[in-house]
């Protein structure tokens, strides 16, 4: 039974790749306008609800959604570009 278990822990190579990709994304995120960075981090790092983010920044909930969508689109674009170049 034990031989059927799969080790899901990342090996050192996969861990290094993941760290490298995370650093790349954080570098790209820092290039965005400050408010957009803060909104993105509030949502994905701090797990804040859209309404709480909107209240904090004095924005409509829809504006927060648009800012998140723009940020996610940008980060996906730069990750795809990096994959093609890498």
Are 67 and 35 in contact by the 8 Å Cβ rule? The answer is yes
pLDDT value at position 79?
Answer: 86
Q: How many CA atoms lie within 13 A of 3 on its CB side?
A: 0
Q: What is the residue extent of each domain of the chain? A: 33-86
CA distance linking residue 68 with residue 83, whole number of Å? 22
The model's pTM: 0.74
**Which one is predicted more confidently, 67 or 81?**
67
Q: What's the pLDDT tens digit per position in 27-79?
A: 999 999 999 999 999 999 999 999 999 999 999 999 999 999 999 999 999 88
Residue 22 CB contacts under 8 Å (≥ 6 apart), including other chains: none
């Amino acid at each position: 039974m034990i031989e059927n278990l799969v080790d899901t822990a990342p090996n050192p190579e996969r861990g290094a790749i993941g760290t490298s990709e995370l650093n790349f994304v954080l570098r790209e995120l820092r290039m965005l306008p400050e408010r957009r960075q803060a909104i993105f981090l509030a949502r994905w790092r701090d797990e804040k609800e859209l309404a709480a983010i909107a209240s904090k920044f004095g924005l409509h909930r829809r504006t927060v959604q648009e800012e998140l969508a723009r940020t996610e689109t940008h980060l996906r674009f730069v990750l795809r570009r990096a994959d093609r170049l890498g």
